[in-house]
Amino acid sequence: MAFIHHTTMTPTKLELLTGWLPKQSWYVGDAGTPELVKAGGFRLDDPEGAVGIEFMVVADAAAREPVAYLVPMGYRGAAPADVPGEALIGTSEHGVLGTRWIYDGVHDPVVTAQLRALLRGEATPQHQSESGTPDPTVTVHGTVPGDGFDVRVHRVLRPAEAAPTSPGHLVAGWTRPDGTAARGVFATVVPR
């Protein structure tokens, strides 16, 4: 079980994402600097206890139409050999753990393995800011047995009116900049 440290990070996750997010191909904002606010998310536990795993939702309050982005992140104590360098979001000084290398989770094998475990019904989503607290608002529909599937992470989140037609999907919520709640699909199973 991951332990959540209530401490400082310099730069903060939002500061790192403000510079990183506009450089991504899936970013839908205009050319200006986004005004990011934390809007939701959840955590997964690394069975080895080495990698912090967070699925963070950030909303761009500066966009004409507020946009919510899903950024899975892997927090590591050193630069790993099995994650490509271009996946690095940045480094931050954690008040308890020291320097943390923060990676885009879709390129981190520990993060993707745990996401796949969640979609198979073998992992429990955890509250984003409370240690050892499951988050029952994160739901998996149509769990998929075995490993014969890929996962598509939805980077730009949209409130879901109807369930997707995929054999399995992950649904969770976030808060819009105006304070209203939204729920939508965070990830879908793609059969091979």
- On average, the pLDDT of the chain sits at 89
Q: Is residue 106 situated within a structural domain?
A: yes
pLDDT value at residue 42? 97
Amino acid making up residue 112:
T
Each residue's pLDDT tens digit, 133-165? 899 999 998 878 888 889 999 999 998 765 666
- Band the pLDDT of 23: cuts 50, 70, 90: very high
Among residues 108, 111, 118, the alpha carbon closest in space to that of 169 is found at 118
Give dist(CA 57, CA 72) in Å, integer. 8
pLDDT value at residue 61? 86
pLDDT value at residue 5? 63
Strand partners, 51: none
Q: Is residue 4 situated within a structural domain?
A: no
Q: Kindly state the DSSP code that residue 96 receives in the 8-state scheme.
A: T
pLDDT value at residue 115? 97
Q: Tell whether pTM > 0.85.
A: yes
Q: Is residue 3 situated within a structural domain?
A: no
State whether residue 42 is helix, strand or coil: strand
Q: Is residue 2 situated within a structural domain?
A: no
Q: Is residue 34 situated within a structural domain?
A: yes
Decide if pLDDT at 95 tops 70: no
Q: Is residue 95 situated within a structural domain?
A: yes
Q: Is residue 1 situated within a structural domain?
A: no
C-beta neighbour count of 67 within 10 angstroms: 20
Q: Which domain covers residue 76, as residue numbers?
A: 9-191
Average pLDDT value for residue range 34-54: 94
Number of domains in the chain: 1
Give dist(CA 181, CA 68) in Å, integer. 12
